[in-house]
Amino acid sequence: MSRQYDIHRLPVPLVTEIERLRAQVTMGWQQEFLKYQRFGLQDGMKILDLGCGPGFVTANLLAALPSATVTALDPDADLLGYARALMVERRLVDQVTFVQAHVPDLPLPDDSMDFAVARMLFLHLSDPIDAALAIRRVLKPGGRLVIVDIDDGVFGTTHPPLNALPEVLVTIAHLKAARGGNRYIGRELPRILKASQFTDVQIDALVHHSDVHGTDGMRQQFEAQRFAGLLANGAMTPHQYDEVDRFAQLLAREEAYAMMLFFMACGTKPVPGRPIW
């Protein structure tokens, strides 16, 4: 299995991308956390944060669940180092175990975790079913996996309309697919969970709106510099690049807004001997 996201190869400085990831987690965290609780997350659980990156989800989970422990997993040693520093800063490090590994190679015992979160990970994976099966192995019977991800077919909307956005999203989706990823993964999440032998499969949505969650974080998601690589290789026209850049600047004004959709799918590892219906 390959994972296409490499923070060190992006056309923006590392600190810029980390700040974007922070904003992406922070924008609608209260709404997101309530949904995790509805899916069964409780204090005291052993939680697996898959693709933890700089650790913002891990930190937020532990701030809300002081008796929980988190295993924070990522293949990137530098990001794990950032996550560790964040946990030290917030005095949470004693509740976290850091693991450098890819998802299919989870170096964790069978039946050892209560709850797993895979946030913005599955779109980068070439074999999502293989990943889900690996996660299922380490969950306890009755444990749950929640996948949070995107679907560019229903990305969201802007005002004023960003006419270049649909074409840009299609371009990005095609490039991602050529590398083995899938930016339309949101619609496939229930089937991935069912194919991986999870039961009680549910799906929900998160809505981020700049009027509700603030313009600063949303503007970072539209930062034109993120698309500089597409412009350089001809996959994005100068007109499209300029239009995205203008909209990012316009978001600072009262008349503009943006809305983005994310999808959450939850599946349960069956308990032996218990009916699955």
Q: Are 220 and 156 in contact (CB under 8 A)?
A: no
Instruction: Say how far apart CA 51 and CA 72 lie, in whole Å.
Output: 8
Give CA–CA dist 208/205, Å, rounded: 10
In the numeric block, the tokens 């990823």 are attached to 181
200: left (phi over 0), alpha (psi -120 to 50) or beta: left
Q: What is the pLDDT along the chain (277 residues), one digit of tens a residue?
A: 445 677 787 777 888 888 889 988 998 999 999 999 999 999 999 999 999 999 999 999 999 999 999 999 999 999 999 999 999 999 999 999 999 999 999 999 999 999 999 999 999 999 999 999 999 999 999 999 999 999 999 999 999 999 999 999 999 999 999 999 999 999 999 999 999 999 999 999 999 999 999 888 888 888 888 888 889 989 889 999 999 989 988 988 888 999 999 999 999 999 987 765 5
Q: Look up residue 70 and give its two tokens.
A: 């988190």
pLDDT value of residue 1: 44
Query: How many angstroms separate the CA atoms of 13 and 16, rounded?
Result: 5
Measured between alpha carbons, how far is 199 from 179 in angstroms, rounded to an integer?
Answer: 30
CA–CA dist 176, 179 (Å, integer) = 5
What's phi and psi for 50, nearest 5 deg?
-90, 130
Distance CA 193, CA 71 (A): 21
Residue 120 and residue 51 in contact, taking contact as beta carbons nearer than 8 Å: yes
DSSP helix/strand/coil, 81: helix
Alpha helices in the chain (DSSP H): 14-26, 29-38, 56-64, 77-89, 128-138, 165-178, 189-195, 210-213, 215-221, 228-232, 238-250
DSSP state of 18: H
